Structures are given as structure tokens and as C-alpha cells.
Structure 1
Amino acid sequence: MGIHALITVHFKRVIKKPMPISYPKNPKTVGEHLRKKRMELKLLQSDLAKILGVSTDCVTYWENNKSKPQIQHYPAIQLFLGYSLVKVNEKKFEGRLKAYRWRKGLSHKRLGEMLGVDASTVGSWEKGESFPSAGNLKELELLFKK
């Protein structure tokens, strides 16, 4: 009489539930980037709204491309996404200026107030149409280092 061993093999089959049809595979807008990341993290729009410090309606409008976030919300948006949506050449002064403004969530007007210049002047610097005075440049370089 031989000893028979019963071998039992257990395996677990993991099936991932597909993302909803509204999941943006190749996001282009801010809203699509937010929706994609939110869905990947399995968050509700109300959860994202709390994270970003805005209303649920804001998130809904952004995700549906009915409106765009104001610049003061971009620091929180970039922190949530883990990357910046603003692509600039930071080797040039104009790019450093624009990147700084977006990272800090500053409008042309607000940065202009900080520097004692008009909002259109800041816009002109960003476009490379003009260059800051020596004094303004020194102030900006100090801001960039912070």
C-alpha cells in the first residue's frame, strides 16, 4: 500500500475593474489631469475639493472643462498632481519669471504689486518684450531663490 499525497494548489486571480469611460487616458486640460489623478486615487470630487481648498462645484467645472482654475489654486493643484502643468524654459529669464509666478500662484497683478510695477509690465517681461530695471531684477532674483 502506497502513501498518496493530495496536492492542493491555491491561486488567487486578481481582476482589476476597468476605469470608467470618463477616465482620461491622455489628459490635455487641467481638468482632465485632475480627473485622471483623482480616479487613480479613487477619490470623490468632494475629497479633491477638500484637498485643494475649493468647493466641489469648482472641481466639477474644472473636470468638465467648463472653467479653469484661477492661478492662486495652481500651487495646490501641482502638489496634488506631483508635477507642473506649465512648461517653460527656465534657463531664460522669462521662463524663470513665469515658472515662479505659477509655482507661487501669483497673478501678473499680484506680482506687480509686490514689485511696485503694473501688471502689464510683468506680462511684458514674461513675453520678453521688455526687461526689468536693475532694481526690479535684483528683487526678482531674490524672490527666485526663496
Structure 2
Amino acid sequence: MELKLFQKDVAAIFNVSEDCITYWENNRSEPQIQYYPPIFGFLGYCPFKLDKSTFAGKIKAYRYLNGLTQKRFAKLMKVDPATVSRWEDGKGGGVKKNEIDAVLSSCSIVVNQDLTKGLNSD
């Protein structure tokens, strides 16, 4: 509203239908995760409360900020999607978990801050 954009304008920005925007606005559906990064950019912040102090939180923050499903994240990290699900539930461990934790710890994961400053690795 502040930008004086119509639903059709916002739909064009995200390459979705006007109905999709209406459903999002009325909580009839939620955006698919691949739309999160452009939505965060549009808003200028991440509206989710993500705790990146835990391994589970780091995974979720990384996935949300990069628009990755658990399945896609698992493929990138060369693990089973069920493993990612367990990790996000705070379960499981192993060598692979330690490797991924090290990778995620080396990334700049900016949450609940001005996202115009960048989301890339250091």
C-alpha cells in the first residue's frame, strides 16, 4: 500500500497470478519457498523468526534465505532429504552434520535485518 502498487503489479514482480497474491494476503495459502528471497528483498527484511544459534536454525535460515526446499538443500549437501528433516527437528548427528555445520557457520546468514546489505558467503 505504501508503494501504491496494485495486486497485479506485485504479481508481475514475483511472476505469479493476482489470485496468488490475494491468497497470500488473506492467509489462504503461503508462498512457496522459492519465492522467499524475492519477497524478503521486496520487504527489505526477513519476516520469519529464525534462530541461527543452533544447527537446525542455521539450516532453516540458509534454506529460507536461498529459497531452497529440504529436498534441494539435501541434494546440494549430498544427504538424504529425511536427514535434513531430522536435523531441522533437532535430531541426528554424524560426520556429515559436522561438515555441513562448518559450511553454514562460514556463511553470512543475515536474519531479521536489512537484507539489502547482502546474503552471500564471506
Q: Where on the TM-score scale, by shorter chain, does this alignment land: which range?
A: 0.7 to 0.9
The higher-RCO structure (CA 8 Å, 6+ apart) is 2
For 1:141, the equivalent position in structure 2 comes to: 102
Is the aligned partner of 1:53 residue 2:15?
Answer: yes
The CA deviation at 1:53 is 2.4
Residue in 1 aligned with 2:57? Answer: 95
Q: Choose 96-105 or 107-116, whichever is displaced more.
A: 107-116
- Letter aligned with residue 111 of structure 1: F
The CA RMSD over aligned residues, in Å, is 1.7
CA–CA separation in structure 1 for the residues paired with 2:85 and 2:47: 19
Tell me if structure 1 keeps the 8 A contact 2:55–2:101.
no
Identify unmatched segments of 5+ residues in structure 2. 108-120
2:114 equivalent to 1:125: no
Q: How does 1:5-84 map to 2 (within 5 A)?
A: 39-84=1-46
Rounded to whole Å, the distance in 1 between the matches of 2:87 and 2:49 is: 17
Percent same amino acid at aligned positions? 47
| Equivalent residue letter for 1:77 | I
Q: CA deviation at 1:55?
A: 2.0
Do the aligned partners of residues 139 and 90 (structure 1) sit closer, same or farther apart at CA in structure 2, a change above 3 Å counting? closer
> How many residue pairs align between the two structures?
107
Give 5+ residue unaligned stretches, structure 1.
1-38
Q: Deviations over 1:36-83 (max 9, x none)?
A: xxx121100111112222222211121122211111110111111111
Cα distance in 2 for residues equivalent to 1:95 and 1:136: 13
Q: In structure 2, give the amino acid aligned to 1:67.
A: S
